[in-house]
């Protein structure tokens, strides 16, 4: 029965080990007090996450002219404001699952944490988790933000866009993916937009449109005037009836 005794000892020591680990975890967890969480949450609520564009200038050798040239590439920074001591920012890009952790040590001279997201040739969705950096409450999630970085619109510098800057596909940056839109498809959509715009302008110049627009704009004033006129007419009729009875 020696194997049985050995088995009992193993179970005994395993039980002691599990109880010890559970006790250790409980003790560590208890050090993160509710008061500290409330304090850290207040700090996290002040953290603001945004993004801003910048032009990334790259110098390269141009073989055609056999000289160095500069290429300007539209890019974006993720900006994190008010990331103080006791907090960290866990940043994850959704499509690639790439992650980076930033702390107040990464703050620039202007008090902002900048994260370079690279060239803006496709949309990028990023999760930013503001977490505790306190060793007693390590990586406790306090606030989460999801931002979508727009992509640079290659149609922006097309000549037709200079004449139609308000057209949706002529904006400099967009969260719509136009990478599969050919030049011919762009022209078709632009022509449709111009036709609809011309039709709307013709409609706005018509007399009927001006009348309905005026009535819609001042309808409550008109209704009030009509109500007053009706009330006056009713009062006059009632008075005339009373005068006839006398």
Please state the domain extents for the chain: 2-30, 40-151, 156-245
Q: Cα–Cα distance between 124 and 95 in angstroms, integer?
A: 7
Q: Give the pLDDT of residue 28.
A: 43
Q: Give the pLDDT of residue 234.
A: 83
Q: Cα–Cα distance between 101 and 103 in angstroms, integer?
A: 7
Which residue in the block uniquely carries the two structure tokens 């900006």? 79
pLDDT along the chain (246 residues), means of 10: 50 48 44 88 94 81 64 88 94 89 92 91 92 92 94 88 91 86 91 86 67 75 84 80 64
Q: Give the pLDDT of residue 4.
A: 44
Q: Give the pLDDT of residue 220.
A: 84
Q: Cα–Cα distance between 226 and 168 in angstroms, integer?
A: 43
Maximum Cα–Cα distance across the chain: 127
pTM of the full structure: 0.61
- Classified as helix, coil or strand, 42 is helix
Q: Cα–Cα distance between 208 and 221 in angstroms, integer?
A: 20
- E-strand ranges in 171-221 read 173-174
Of residues 92, 109, 89, 108, the one with CA closest to residue 44: 89
Polymer length in residues for the chain: 246
Q: Give the pLDDT of residue 154.
A: 86
- Start-to-end CA span in the chain (Å): 127
Identify the CATH number of the domain defined by range 40-151. 2.60.40
84-118 burial, b for 16+ CB within 10 Å, e for fewer? eebbbbbbbbeeeeeeeebebebbeeeebbbbebe
Parallel/antiparallel/unpaired status of strands 141-149 and 99-103: unpaired
């Amino acid at each position: 029965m020696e194997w049985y005794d050995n088995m009992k000892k193993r179970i005994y020591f395993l039980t002691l080990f599990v109880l010890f680990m559970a006790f250790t975890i409980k003790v560590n967890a208890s050090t993160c007090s509710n008061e500290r969480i409330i304090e850290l949450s207040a700090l996290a609520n002040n953290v603001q996450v945004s993004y801003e564009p910048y032009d990334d200038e790259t110098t390269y050798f141009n073989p055609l002219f056999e000289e160095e040239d500069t290429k300007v590439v539209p890019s974006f920074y993720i900006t994190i404001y008010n990331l103080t001591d006791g907090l960290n920012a866990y940043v994850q890009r959704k499509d690639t699952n790439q992650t980076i952790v930033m702390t107040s040590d990464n703050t620039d001279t202007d008090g902002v944490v900048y994260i370079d997201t690279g060239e803006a040739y496709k949309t990028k969705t990023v999760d930013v988790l503001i977490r505790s950096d306190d060793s007693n409450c390590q990586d406790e999630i306090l606030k989460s933000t999801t931002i979508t970085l727009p992509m640079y619109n290659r149609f922006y510098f097309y000549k037709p866009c200079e004449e139609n800057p308000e057209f949706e596909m002529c904006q400099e940056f967009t969260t719509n993916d136009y990478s599969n839109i050919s030049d011919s498809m762009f022209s078709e959509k632009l022509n449709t937009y111009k036709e609809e715009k011309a039709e709307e302008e013709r409609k706005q110049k018509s007399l009927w449109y001006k009348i309905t627009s005026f009535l819609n704009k001042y309808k409550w004033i008109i209704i009030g005037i009509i109500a007053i006129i009706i009330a006056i007419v009713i009062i006059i009729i009632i008075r005339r009836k009373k005068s006839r009875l006398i």
